[in-house]
């Protein structure tokens, strides 16, 4: 609406007032003129006030929206209303979807805001908290008082990746994994690990007991084969002895790995020189390396000593050297080296062998994993050697690093703090 049109409408609306005012006064022309003047002034003032307070903001809004009429504004507002309704519907559907997903999870799911007020809590997490009922917006501190849990979640709320938290309460043994949210707050995954721990313990006991019980019949089998040496062809005798030795070795590895995982393998550390251990391992594998046409080298500094368990370090080096020779080629080499760092001792076993494909580097330290058997026919084994090395190094208190390039070779580096104590 234009300003002139608005003024005309205002004047027509005030015309009855002019008629009444003229009728109520004398019939002189001068009186009518003054009444008309005052009426026009009043109408103009009222029209300006009404324009400024009502019509002008509307026109300003229309112009700012790039529209030309109030009808277009109405259409725009209608579309915005429809969009708002659609957003509200989508938000409701998304909220319902999140509730359905969180309810169907096998794990507990907690979401808290920066003040540790609950934003989401599925039934599994509610069971962990021991709450029969709860209200979103309720403070987590009113439901959980364990300081490790609260501090871990606070760290995640502060933007730091939370560490896994192990909690035991009357409802079970739980593992909590808190993570920060980009918009503030944290999400916490809650997993009941009691059944998993019991299953793992049963598996360890089974493997340990089975491998222990197999030792006696294997020893009897070997003795029997050796006793029949004069009655059967030598090649059959040697084949049977090799197979018995292979099964015995695998049984020993299973027992050793189960003992490490069960925590029954005791460490006796002492400050001693590493040279005799390395030379003994090299001597043990000298004949094997010679048969494989692999050059076995040693590079050690003089008087290199630190705290370690003799049996554990011997086992680590033996497994690494055995693998380095086994997965090598005629004319290749294996080197055992050591050096002293600022506050650590570092031992490396390096070879010029087949190497490990990059896609398998992350898996070779797992138990029972073996690189493609077609690449190493006839090597045998269950894939326990590197798993034992990894666990043994961790038990000693060290760190293991694996570098390998397929077709170039492999380097396994073991680093121990010089004054380290064995890990619990």
> Distances in Å between the alpha carbon of 360 and those of 55, 329, 390, 405?
75, 20, 16, 11
Q: How far apart are CA 367 and CA 271, in angstroms?
A: 31
CATH 3.40.50.720, applies to 105-192: no
Q: What is the mean pLDDT of residues 281-291?
A: 90
Q: pLDDT tens digits for 315-372?
A: 888 888 988 998 898 999 999 998 888 788 889 999 998 888 877 776 676 655 555 5
Q: Is the pLDDT of residue 378 over 50?
A: no
Mean pLDDT of the chain: 78
Which residue do the tokens 């002189």 mark?
28
The conformation of residue 7, written as its DSSP 8-state character, comes to: H
Q: Tally Cβ neighbours within 10 Å of residue 185.
A: 19
Is 153:140 a contact under the CB 8 Å cutoff? yes
Please calculate the CA angle 261-318-256 and round it to the nearest 5 degrees: 25
Q: How far apart are CA 14 and CA 44, in angstroms?
A: 10
Bridging pattern class, strands 108-112 and 118-121: antiparallel
Residues belonging to the chain: 424
Contacts of 352 (CB under 8 A, 6+ apart): 328, 329, 332, 333, 334, 408, 409
The conformation of residue 117, written as its DSSP 8-state character, comes to: B
CATH 3.30.930.10, applies to 269-417: no
Q: pLDDT tens digits for 31-44?
A: 667 767 777 777 77
Q: pLDDT tens digits for 98-127?
A: 777 766 677 888 888 888 888 888 888 888
């Amino acid at each position: 609406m234009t300003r002139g049109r608005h003024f005309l409408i205002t004047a027509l609306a005030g015309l009855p007032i002019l008629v009444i005012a003229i009728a109520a006064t004398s019939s002189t022309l001068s009186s009518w003129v003054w009444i008309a003047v005052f009426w026009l002034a009043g109408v103009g003032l009222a029209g300006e006030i009404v324009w400024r307070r009502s019509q002008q903001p509307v026109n300003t809004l229309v112009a700012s929206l790039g529209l030309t009429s109030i009808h277009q504004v109405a259409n725009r507002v209608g579309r915005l209303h429809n969009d708002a309704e659609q957003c509200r519907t989508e938000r409701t559907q998304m909220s319902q979807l999140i509730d359905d997903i969180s309810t169907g999870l096998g794990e507990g799911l907690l979401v808290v805001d920066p003040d540790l007020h609950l934003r989401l809590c599925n039934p599994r997490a509610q069971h962990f908290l021991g709450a029969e009922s709860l209200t979103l917006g309720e403070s987590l501190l009113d439901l959980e008082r364990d300081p490790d849990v609260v501090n871990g979640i606070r760290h995640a709320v502060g933007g730091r990746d939370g560490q896994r938290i192990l909690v035991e309460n009357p409802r079970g043994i739980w593992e909590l994994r808190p993570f920060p949210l980009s918009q503030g707050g944290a999400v916490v995954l809650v997993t009941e690990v009691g059944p998993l721990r019991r299953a793992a313990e049963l598996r360890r006991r089974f493997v340990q007991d089975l491998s222990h019980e197999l030792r006696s019949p294997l020893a009897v089998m070997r003795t029997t084969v050796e006793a029949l040496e004069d009655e059967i062809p030598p090649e059959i005798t040697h084949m049977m002895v090799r197979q018995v030795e292979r099964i015995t070795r695998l049984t020993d590895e299973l027992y050793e790995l189960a003992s490490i995982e069960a925590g029954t393998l005791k460490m006796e550390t002492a400050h001693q020189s590493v040279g005799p251990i390395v030379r003994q391992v090299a001597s043990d594998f000298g004949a094997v390396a010679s048969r494989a046409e692999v050059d076995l080298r040693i590079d050690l500094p003089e008087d290199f000593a630190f705290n370690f368990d003799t049996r554990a370090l011997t086992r680590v080096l033996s497994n690494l050297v055995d693998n380095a020779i086994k997965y090598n080629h005629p004319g290749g080499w294996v080197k055992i080296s050591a050096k002293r760092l600022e506050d650590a001792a570092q031992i490396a076993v390096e070879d010029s062998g087949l190497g490990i494909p990059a896609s398998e580097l992350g898996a070779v330290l797992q138990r029972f994993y073996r690189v493609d058997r077609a690449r190493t026919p006839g090597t045998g084994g269950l894939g326990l050697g590197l798993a034992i090395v990894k666990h043994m190094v961790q038990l000693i208190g060290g760190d293991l690093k694996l570098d390998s390039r397929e077709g170039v070779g492999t380097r396994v580096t073991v680093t121990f703090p010089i004054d380290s104590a064995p890990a619990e």
